[in-house]
Structure 1
Amino acid sequence: MISKTATKIFGRTELPCFQETCSHLISFCNSKSLRQGVCIHSPLIKLGFQDHLYLNNNLLSLYSKCFTLDYTRQFFDEMPYRDVVSWTGILSAYVKHEKHEEALGMFQEMMSSGPCPNEFTFSSVLRACSALREFSYGKCIHGCVIKHGFDSNPILGSVLIDLYSKYGSIEEACRLFSCVDNGDVVSWTTMISSLVQGGKWSQALRIYIDMIKAGVYPNEFTSVKVLAAAGFLGLQHGKVVHAHLIVFGVELNLVVKTALVHMYSKCQRMDDAVRISKLTPESDMFLWTAILSGLAQNLKLREAVVAFQEMEASGIISNNFTYLSILNACSLTLSLDLGRQIHARVIMAGLEDDIPVGNALVDMYMKCSHGAKDGLRVFQGIHSPDVISWTSLIAGLSEHGFHRDSFDLYMEMTASGLQPNSVTLSTILRSCRAAKSESQLLKLHGHVIKTNADHDIVVSNALVDAYAGNERVDEAWYLIRNMSQRDALTYTGLATRLNQMGHHEMALHVINHMFNDDIKMDGYSMAGFLSASAGLNSLETGMQLHSYSVKSGLGSFISVSNGLVSFYGKCGLTHDAERAFAETSKPDIVSWNGLISVLASYGHISSALSAFDNMRLAGVKPDSLTFLLVLFTCTHGGLVDMGLEYFNSMEEMHGIEPQLDHYVCLFDLLGRAGRLEEAMEILETMPISPNASIYKTLLAACRAHRIVPLGEDIARRGLELDPSDPAFNLILANLYDSSGRSDLAATIRRSVRDKGSSPPQKSCSSHPVLA
């Protein structure tokens, strides 16, 4: 009933016009989300229009958009009449404010009140089910959708596709999509997005092509999803999608530009990624983070730092994702100094309490520092460390050889109530393998079985590797036979450990098991089998593997190229090794070290040192092993002064601190040349304590040059360091023999025999790296 007051003021003829004006005004405010529109509510009540359902529904929508959920619910409760639009409006408000359980409760109340839901009602309810992961209830709602005849509705089709895909039912999502009549760009995009999220990138691109064939053209959201799929499939796919953006006139806004940067970064085309980022002047934190992340992943650390500086100069403040990208780059390139600077910036930005940033700092310090102290200190500063925090620290301690500490930390983590994930378990299992700790391995295996973690292939593979690494090969095979799922890594780990134990023939037999399981070799397994062929000196098997790698496309993997260089080198075919190296598209440090090792092993001294120079000219930074190989080369080429120059350049030019192995090679170099006085000067001033190998190397040099007094002094020092090693006495006896003091030699040998000592150890003059 319209109030008498309104009739008196406007008259009966003017009332419809006034109602229409109010409706237009509220609709306008509703469409523009203008809070001022709610001012009409009070006059409507005063004039007696509070029963007008259309006006109330518009006001309800306005309250939902502009005010809190409490105000919206209060208005809904005060509505004298409600229809399906009213109920759908309040449901939508609950879903918008992420009150999904309350939304489902309102739906139950609506169903008992009588209004028949429409497609928009079902859409809100299904979104609530999706958010709550109420898959069973969502399927019930799907049944209601079919019952009410909305099964071909494109709006509900998109929501249902999203629901089923979130729960891994990609096949059902595809079936639903095929039933949608006249699918619009939203439903097509939802289907593509579902496939991308499920990792089915090829299928996502096929749907995208079908969409275009159906005459539905992509919008910016479609483009972002398709670019994500193309990034995983390769550059050619990405270029095609990029071309489509231009042809179909998709606006190059910030979202699309960021997706393009991500795609080109994944395809290792950072120049294109940076160029696209500058096509339009707009930028934001997400775009800059995409650039920084791409540069970091492609190991372009210097460029990443420059981009970081440009970002800050543009006025965009770094956030946690920015620092994560830079810290990950530091971890990948082992750049401790830059990592420390970024740590200082993190503190200045007030992000030291951010758990992901703290985790990245722990990871950086553990990978870049020589010790674990810095990483442990950062970990202790994290207020509520999560499983990633603990795993980063456990992995770091294990890498630094602190296996007992990593076990203790693992126990502390589980005692705190945190459950290890598959990465944590695989990390601690690797520590068991490295420490040769069977007791810890058995305890962990028991925990894995109790928690059903062995159903995870990552954990199962780590168990196989741990048992094989502890030389329990039968148990490793037993695990493999009982695994519900196996992959290339399952067999690669086993073959690697068999090679390390010298069981090369058994390692090659792994190929048959892979074939029976219909598992194709990858680059790492191929490298392992090449290593086994080299160990057996089986040229025929290795050449067959080489042929297979070419036919299967595995030859492009750097691990396979490096394996071929090593294989041909160990078989004495230096020219084939050089050819395999020449066919490597982008040789890394392992490639160059392999080539230098092969050339040096077969006496090609000049070629080996030329390879070292070529490596530096190619921009590849030498590592500790490189200098070990170079010193070996100089030793066997008699290039004493050149060897000294290389040794001195390690720390001065390359920032590599010489280790004991380098000193052994240096003393061998000087000792063979008879420059023992110079060697003794270095021995007295070296920053690390000499070990038995150094004394044995110097003693062997004294024997070769018949220098008795110095030899006696070095033998005494060596025996003080390791009294149980008979090599010192036996080398000294040989020195006495060569110096005409056979009586002293006989006395020493008699003493060694009386002690029941083992035969003498090999001299360290032949370096084991090149054996």
Structure 2
Amino acid sequence: MLDDACLVFELMTDRDTVSWTTMISALVQAEDWNKTVGLYIAMLRDRVFPNEFTFSKLLTACCNLDSRLGELVHAHVILLGIELNLAVKTALVNMYSKCSNMINAMKTLHLTSDFDTLLWTAIISGYARAGDCSRAVASFQEMQTSAAFPPNSFTYSSLLNASSLSTLPELGKVFHCLVVKAGIEHDVSVGNAIVDLYSKCSPQLEDAMNAFEEISSPNVVSWTALISGLVRHGEDSAAMAVLTEMQAAGVKPNSFTLSTILTDLSSVEGAAHAQKLHAVALKTNLDTRDNTVGNSLVAAYGKLGRPIDAGKVFDDVSHRDVYTYTSLAKGLNQAGLHGQVLSLIRPMRAELTSIDGFSIASFLSAAAGLCAAKCGRQLHCYSLKSGLSVSISVLNALVDMYSKCGCIAEARAIFASIQQPTVVSWNGLMSGLASNGCFANALSTFEDMIMAGVLPDSVTFLIALYACSHGGLLDLGMDYFNSMEEQFGLVPGEDHYVCLVDMLGRAGRLEAAAETIETMVHQPGALIYKTLLGCCRLHGNVAMGEWAASQAMELDPLDSAVYVLLAGMYDDAGRVEFGEEIRKMMRERGATKSPGRSWM
């Protein structure tokens, strides 16, 4: 009954430290952090001095506000001569830990010789939150050896969370063993951490499911951790089934539960699942008025190729933020609606005070898709003025934009300004050089990337193979293709085989190209047969071209490009009547060819 308490407090004429501290405690319990600090300031103005209990509660509020405010409150503790007992020290350590200031947290830890489990747990939790697993473990060891304080469930939860973020997932199993020995594996906070650990680090989903079964009373966090693991492993349908089971068990999903599934939807049924989750959000009052769910719905619909639905959800979000706009921009870019992306800039600047680097990158991607160099330069100027030009995502997008607009000199200059280029940066420059016909320079950039110690990914090799194919460098291209798995451990995908077939076909080695298709690991798609057909037309090999066309038509009978290529091959070979027959077949099957157009 906070409102009644505030009313009684206002009517009091003689308020002492206890009454002020009681109200501060009530506001902290209500999680009204700003009012808590305001009440503390009013307390000082009323010349009432706080005690250690006041500061213990006040520091809890500072955990959720600016870290500089916590330092100021710490200064008040010193100035007012408050005794640094265990409660105040624990509150200070907890505040610094949650504000990611572990240096001050450790300094405060060793100010006195008083320690207990809660104090050590605050330190361990801080390192775990910062992703510093080694120091979290070291603190745990010091906790056990210095005074042999027994760890509690929150201590183990923090250690398990740190293990899930580390590069040593086996460490999590060690702590799981300690949890079992302590007999607290059924505790909900510990169980949640174990489920989260195995869902992130274990290739076997059964590990996470078994850990979930051990929890005596699963809460919404338990269910969400399990659902997150299923979605992360691509088991969208199983995640939806668990969500239904969760509701049947009487546990209502929260905004994080729904956003977790929406963020990672990847199956072919993803759009249907997104609509079901949208319905759940509406029924549970977690609709688009909640930014977390609204933003996730916009992102999911955009990623799944439903830009109209993404736009409708966007319009329904009452308090749009930078993530809402960026999610819609990404979805529209993916659908090729670059003009609509650029039209978001004006309303976004009118509604929000600032635009972040990810938004700028999305707008630059739209300008690149339209080859709108003028718009791209304006965005470049804006990024410089707003101080966003140092963001790696913006710099990568600028390289891509200038490359696609044919401004190779500008793309090179932007790349040269990147202090530590990532694989995305190198890929952007390579792609720009290759797409503008600078094949030798693109491959030279690839070699520079290797010498710089940046490991290439599958996209890097795709660009390199494209450059070799169009540059007539068959032997070098074959070396690159073979080095993917032998040297870098990358399994070639279907796109890499398409480039290999194109490379062999352009060089006139059509039999080797056909043999590659028949021996490839992946199931050949229509594109690879269509690529071979184009090469057969180039070299006049009608027999192999007919075989490639029949295979492509069987896989995709409505692909107009196959009919056009086959008819053109017959025309080039002087068999015009066969070409006309193919065009007639194309019309009868309803395979229509879209007219060509260019933005340049």
Q: Is the 8 A contact 1:196 1:225 kept in 2?
A: no
Q: Aligned partners of 1:287, 1:548: CA distance in 2, in Å? A: 42
Contact 1:220/1:250 (<8 A) preserved: no
**Amino acid across the alignment from 1:605:** F
Q: Which residue of 2 aligns with 1:375?
A: 205
Match of 1:322 in 2: 159
Between the aligned partners of 2:449 and 2:122, the Cα distance in structure 1 is 37
- Asked whether the equivalents of residues 379 and 389 of structure 1 are also in contact (C-alpha less than 8 Å), the reply is no
Residues 212 and 226 of structure 2 are in contact (CA less than 8 Å); yes or no, is this contact kept in structure 1? no
2:243 corresponds to: 410
Residue by residue over 1:347-366, the C-alpha shift from the partner in whole angstroms, topping out at 9 and shown as x without a partner, is 6556576331122211334x
Aligned to 2:32: 169
Distance 2:509 2:113 in 1: 70
* Structure 1 counterpart of 2:148: none
Pick closer, same or farther for the CA change 1:560–1:649 going to 2, 3 Å.
same
Is 1:582 aligned to 2:393, yes or no? no
State the partner residue of 2:59.
193
C-alpha separation in 2, matches of 1:382 and 1:761: 56
In the alignment, structure 2 segments of 5+ residues that lack a partner are 146-150
Note the 1:526-541 alignment, pairs <5 A.
Answer: 526-541=360-375
Alignment partners' CA distance in 2, 1:229 and 1:322 = 15
Amino acid at match of 1:166: Q
Question: C-alpha displacement at 1:663, in angstroms?
Answer: 0.9
| Cross-structure match for 1:126 | none
Match of 1:757 in 2: 591
Does residue 224 (structure 1) correspond to residue 224 (structure 2)? The answer is: no
Q: Which segment drifts farther, 157-166 or 592-601?
A: 157-166
Structure 1 residues 415 and 470: alpha-carbon distance in aligned structure 2, compared to 1, 3 A threshold: farther
CA contact 1:433–1:465 (8 Å) conserved in 2: no
CA shift, 1:429, in A, is 4.3
Residue 195 (structure 2) pairs with residue 358 (structure 1): yes
How does 1:558-597 map onto structure 2 within 5 Å? 558-597=392-431
User: Which among 244, 247, 257 is matched to residue 424 of structure 1?
Assistant: 257
Unaligned residue ranges in structure 1 (runs of 5+):
1-133, 233-237, 260-283, 298-303, 331-337, 763-770
Could you tell which deviates more after superposition, 490-499 or 613-622?
Answer: 613-622
Whole-Å separation in 2 of the counterparts to 1:541 and 1:735? 42
Instruction: Give the deviation of 1:521 after TM superposition.
Output: 0.9
How high is the TM-score relative to the length of structure 1?
0.63
Percent identity over the alignment is: 33
Of residues 444, 451, 462, the one that matches 2:284 is 451
Give the aligned partner of residue 334 of structure 1: none
Question: 2:327 aligned with 1:497, yes or no?
Answer: no
CA contact (8 A) 1:363 1:393 kept: no
CA distance in 2, matches of 1:431, 1:225: 33
Kindly report which structure 2 residues correspond to 1:737-756, keeping only aligned pairs within 5 A, or say none. Answer: 737-756=571-590
User: Judging changes above 3 Å, is the alpha-carbon distance between structure 1 residues 324 and 212 closer, same or farther for their aligned structure 2 residues?
Assistant: closer
Q: Is 2:313 the counterpart of 1:476?
A: yes
Q: Distance in 2 between matches of 1:222 and 1:290?
A: 13
Conserved in 1, the CA contact under 8 Å of 2:74 and 2:92? no
Q: 1:683 to 1:536 in 2, by over 3 A?
A: closer
**Greater relative contact order (CA < 8 Å, ≥ 6 in sequence):** 2
Distance 2:578 2:20 in 1: 96
Is the alpha carbon distance of 1:595 and 1:388 closer, same or farther for their aligned partners in structure 2, counting shifts above 3 Å?
A: farther
Task: Write the deviation string for residues 418-456 of structure 1: whole angstroms up to 9, x where unpaired.
Answer: 211112222444578986877665554444334322342
Q: After superposing the two structures, state which structure 1 stretch, 653-662 or 605-614, moved more.
A: 605-614
Q: Find the counterpart in structure 2 of residue 18 from structure 1.
A: none
Q: Please tell me whether the aligned partners of residues 323 and 357 of structure 1 are also in contact (alpha carbons under 8 angstroms).
A: yes
Point out the more displaced range, 433-442 or 405-414.
433-442
Cα 1:173–1:431 shift into 2, 3 Å = closer
Alignment CA distance shift 1:212-1:591 (3 Å): farther
Query: How big is the shift at 1:477?
Result: 5.0
Shift in Å at residue 745 of structure 1? Answer: 3.8
Are the aligned partners of 2:94 and 2:122 in contact in 1 as well (CA < 8 Å)? no
Aligned residues: 567
Amino acid at match of 2:313: A
Contact 1:177/1:191 (8 A) holds in 2: no
Match of 1:152 in 2: 16
Contact 1:668-1:697 within 8 A present in 2 as well: yes
Q: 2:111 aligns with which of 241, 244, 251?
A: 251
Distance 2:49 2:230 in 1: 55
* More deviation, 539-548/657-666: 539-548
Q: Name the amino acid aligned to 1:359.
A: D
Is the CA contact 1:670–1:679 (under 8 Å) kept in the aligned structure 2?
A: yes
Look up the equivalent residue of 2:246 and give its one-letter code: M
- CA 1:746–1:472: 2 relative to 1, 3 Å: same
- Hey, what's the Cα distance between the residues in 1 that align with 2:494 and 2:536? 20
Whether the 8 Å CA contact 1:487–1:519 is kept in 2: the answer is no
Whichever residue aligns with residue 552 of structure 1, its letter is S
- AA aligned to 2:111 is E
3-state SS of 1:391 partner: helix
Q: Hey, what's the Cα distance between the residues in 2 that align with 1:310 and 1:657?
A: 41
Q: Is the 8 A contact 2:161 2:197 kept in 1?
A: yes
Deviation of 1:411 after TM superposition, in Å, equals 2.5
Query: Contact conserved, 1:507 with 1:529, CA < 8 A, in 2?
Result: yes
Q: 2:33 touches 2:65 (CA, 8 Å); kept in 1?
A: no
Deviates more, 1:438-447 or 1:319-328: 438-447
The alignment yields a C-alpha RMSD, in angstroms, of 4.3
CA gap of 1:685–1:313, structure 2 versus 1, over 3 A, is farther
Shift of 1:723: 4.3
Q: Tell me: CA distance 1:193–1:343, structure 2 relative to 1, closer, same or farther (3 Å).
A: closer
Mapped contact 1:565–1:581 kept (Cα < 8 A): yes
- Which of 426, 442, 445 in structure 2 is aligned with 1:611? 445
Does the CA-based 8 Å contact 2:97-2:122 persist in structure 1? no
Task: Measure the CA separation in 2 of the matches of 1:136 and 1:596.
Answer: 63
* 1:706 match: 540
